[in-house]
Chains A and B, each alone.
Chain A
């Protein structure tokens, strides 16, 4: 579904309240793996505490590691999918709109005419899931770089080419 051509035909205006394009499903998995990796140190810490107190014999076993495990599982199962659902983008002939944030929503529009340079970045985890982050850099102090993570890697490259072509067209 996310490999359908996302770039609207030229001339079609961007509707600010319109439907957002979803990110690559791999992004939800990548987020889940990242949350798991963050949770592991806490779990290890809890287990260490657990063993330390176990020798004392003060508490029944599992009183520290148990809640930590439950919270970690809840975060790993719930948060990535809600975060994935909260994110989205919209691209038109001359601008890109990026929406992100669960509690603190932000909704940014960057016109291609103001883009200074473009990055496509892929970390090791991103490569495994076949996704990439597209970053647009502007000259403004606020939003000096607007990044859109979780695009399918071919789509990210395609979008970069599209934006670059737009910049060149404008400049020449």
Chain B
């Protein structure tokens, strides 16, 4: 078990293919540019071959020199061609192990195994590529090792650690039909950014000057004169058709992107935690231990909110590739979210939750400050701009006052005996839920205005995320802090992970009992 192991030999080929792929674009560029005259195709082929040979050589050497060792207490990876590096990651520090299969690797039955430690800054340990079976074995192993350690430390643990693959219950899944609906809400015009990038590229490698204004202007004028001859109705129809086309393009982009990312999205709950699988081409498989979940964020979008759709993510030290919290239900109704929340040991706010609103003084101040900009603009416009134009900023100022007054109704927080809730947002409300026990510090911050008017922002120290409640009246902020600190100070940090982990085992055997929620 403890001898150094190598990654799968096919990784060499994948590495070589990767370097070949990055050589293709320059090769094509050379082939179609003026460099080298008649022999440029030969040069291009030469570049490609050289890239392939060098890439394969480096890939092979890198593979030869990279070994990993599954030790008693840690995983060690030694790597490097010229400068060697050795890294050791203790099992107890591994937040989760995720498997990622990119399309090419998937064809060979390989996965990239990523050990997330929550160290941040992309310093996670990644082994590229292992066979499917080896990845799964490693994951099981890490899980068992860590549980052994937890069991050794927590003496009160009665249940034997389960081994082998647990299939668990499916908590949430995205059906293809729902996926398409989801995609429609993910309206995106990113395709135009991609087109812009492509144009830039064409500009770089070809003689055509894309950014030459005259070229486009001439073309537009030509088109414009054609349009002008059509008459006003045809022009209006054309404009509407263009707008319609834009919407269709945006929706199609949204659907394609969503399907690629979230195809076959399944969230399962097993004894060890949550497991999420998703992706059409790049398949990812992430396991999140339940007790590592620090908080929940329930978000939505302005349009999908009107249809009752929400998005649930877990805040923890480990994060998704984009540096965001783990999305566990990207597109779900509240009654689908509720069981996931319960399984994570959290409780959604209900009728008994005593909501507190932000200070009315803060509402007034924020309203005045936000409107002040537009009022100044109004005055400037009234003096300088042609008459009537000042009505535009004035209208915006009135709108901003109205929006602020109305948004205040949606800004509220509540404290239950184990959790803290906060909701903000008028068009697309976002709710945050955190366990009082898992907070790390409480700060009451006040700017000059807030001090004068007697309210404060409460910042809570949450691992892996932020949690701030603005505009709390000072006396209430102090009360809030006192009661949260009472909960925090009762349990030491080193017991945070163990206590719920021990309990999670017994809970899993008897269903989700309410006392689990009290941890």
- Which A positions have Cβ atoms within 8 angstroms of B? 16-17, 94-95, 103-116, 138-144, 146, 167, 170-171
Contact = CB atoms under 8 A, between A and B. Distances in A.
Contacts of A171: 492, 494
B206 interface: no
29 contacts: A16-B482, A17-B478, A94-B489, A103-B447, A105-B451, A106-B444, A107-B443, A108-B443, A108-B444, A109-B443, A110-B440, A111-B485, A112-B489, A113-B491, A113-B492, A114-B440, A115-B493, A140-B441, A140-B463, A141-B463, A141-B464, A142-B459, A142-B460, A142-B461, A142-B462, A142-B466, A142-B468, A143-B459, A170-B494
B444 A146 contact: no
Closest 5 pairs between A and B when the two form their complex, measured CB to CB? A140-B461, A140-B440, A170-B492, A138-B440, A108-B443
Given A107-B445, A109-B442, A142-B459, 5 more contacts: A95-B489, A106-B443, A140-B439, A141-B462, A143-B461
Contacts of A114: 439-441, 461, 488, 493
B415 to A, nearest CB: 16
B511 to A, nearest CB: 31
Nearest to B450: A105
Contact of A106 (B445, B462, B488): B445
Contacts of B464: 141
B442 A108 contact: yes
A111 B468 contact: no
B467 interface: yes
A105 B459 CA distance: 13
A164 B445 CA distance: 27
A104 B463 CA distance: 24
Contacts of A144: 461
Given A109-B441, A109-B485, A111-B485, A139 B492 contact: no
Interface in B398-434: none
Nearest to A170: B492
B445 A143 contact: no
B494 A139 contact: no
B465 interface: yes
Q: Which residue, B441, B462, B467, B490, has most C-beta atoms of chain A within 10 A?
A: B441
B446 interface: yes
Contacts of B447: 103-104
Interface string B488-509: 1111111100000000000000
Interface in B192-211: none
B361 interface: no
B481 interface: yes
A127 to B, nearest CB: 29
A95 B492 CA distance: 12
Given A140-B460, A141-B462, A146 B441 contact: yes
A16 B463 CA distance: 24
A16 B479 CA distance: 9
Contacts of A170: 492, 494-495
Q: Size band of the B side of the interface?
A: 20 to 34
B485 to A, nearest CB: 6
A138 B460 CA distance: 12
Nearest to B493: A114
Contact of B481 (A16, A104, A141, A143): A16
A141 B442 CA distance: 12
B164 interface: no
A167 B482 contact: no
Given A139-B463, A140-B439, A143-B459, A95 B478 contact: no
B443 A167 contact: no
A41 B414 CA distance: 51
Contact of B489 (A107, A111, A139, A146): A111
B434 to A, nearest CB: 10
A105 B440 CA distance: 20
Q: Which residue, B447, B461, B485, has most C-beta atoms of chain A within 10 A?
A: B461
Contacts of B37: none
B448 A103 contact: yes
A11 B440 CA distance: 21
Contacts of B451: 105
Nearest to B490: A113
A110 B441 contact: yes
Contacts of A107: 443-446
Q: Which residue, B317, B444, B463, B493, has most C-beta atoms of chain A within 10 A?
A: B493
A16 B440 CA distance: 17
Nearest to A14: B485
Contacts of B465: 141
A112 B493 CA distance: 9
A109 B488 CA distance: 11
Contact of A111 (B441, B446, B448): B441
B441 A167 contact: no
A143 B493 CA distance: 16
Nearest to B475: A17
Contacts of B462: 140-142
Contacts of A167: 492
A116 B443 contact: no
Nearest to A140: B461
A162 B121 CA distance: 33
A114 B484 CA distance: 13
A83 to B, nearest CB: 15
Contacts of A116: 493
B481 A109 contact: yes
Nearest to B459: A142
Contacts of B460: 140, 142
Contacts of A108: 441-444
Contacts of A140: 439-441, 460-463
Nearest to B446: A105
Nearest to A169: B492
Given A110-B441, A111-B441, A114-B493, A138 B461 contact: yes
B487 to A, nearest CB: 10
A17 B481 CA distance: 12
Nearest to B477: A107
Contacts of A112: 489
Q: Which residue, B443, B459, B490, B495, has most C-beta atoms of chain A within 10 A?
A: B443
